[in-house]
Amino acid sequence: MHEFFKRTNDGISEVYERLGVQGVRPRYSMALIFLDAGALSIRDLAREVDVTHSAMSQTVTAMRASGLVETTPGADARSRLVSLTDAGRALVPQLRAEWDATEAAVAELEAEAPYPLSRLIADLDAALDRRSFADRVAAHLRVPDTGGTAEAADPTDATDAASSRGTSDTRR
């Protein structure tokens, strides 16, 4: 399944190239679209886009380096407000159009497949409700013998390790 997501992400990047959109990665689009309504804190933007604060902080840093957003101090010393630059705002109509086109392309793919992606995701979600991914990984985990007194991993402890691993693109 990893290859599918890589190919779709690469496809969106190719569409950006065809449109002449520069300095934008697919993971930026949802954040830029949300920012079109006004400035948000990194925490609020992360919540809207449904990614971790850390992931959004990295994305904001990259978008700022591309000249798409700017940050200013927030209400307290620990928060930053993110807003679109003129360059970022100018891209939003194209990003909205791409988003709609992407949704249409996904629907087209689902129509061609004997088992729609949306159904697969729902079925996988239900399977994870029955048994967590951390428990599944822990059941297959074989800790190498280092000569010490390390014990086999407790499946209930695997949740922290699995949840600390993030994904590089949570766009869709």
| Residue 27 falls inside a structural domain | yes
| Residue 35 falls inside a structural domain | yes
The mean pLDDT values, 10 residues at a time, for the chain of 172 residues are: 85 93 92 97 96 97 97 89 97 95 92 88 93 92 69 46 40 42
Report the alpha-carbon distance of residue 109 to residue 68 in Å, rounded: 31
Token pair, residue 120, equals 């697969």
Q: Are 46 and 83 in contact (CB under 8 A)?
A: no
pLDDT of 147: 66
Contacts of 79 (CB under 8 A, 6+ apart): 41, 42, 43, 73
- List, edge to edge, every strand of the sheet that includes 40-41: 40-41, 80-84, 69-73
Model-level pTM greater than 0.75?
A: no
Residue 59, exposed/middle/buried by CB under 10 A (0-12, 13-18, 19+)?
buried
| Residue 84 falls inside a structural domain | yes
Report the alpha-carbon distance of residue 140 to residue 162 in Å, rounded: 13
Q: What is the CATH number of the domain that holds 9?
A: 1.10.10.10
pLDDT of 78: 85
Q: Are 169 and 26 in contact (CB under 8 A)?
A: yes
| Residue 36 falls inside a structural domain | yes
| Residue 24 falls inside a structural domain | yes
| Residue 46 falls inside a structural domain | yes
Domain enclosing residue 41, as ranges: 1-89
pLDDT of 105: 94
pLDDT of 143: 78
pLDDT of 117: 83
For residues 52, 170, 49, 71, the Cα torsion angle rounded to the nearest 10 degrees is: 70
**Complete DSSP assignment for 98-158:** HHHHHHHHHHHHHHHSSS-HHHHHHHHHHHHHHS-HHHHHHHH--PPP-SS-PPPPPGGGH
pLDDT of 1: 54
The number of folded domains in the chain is 1
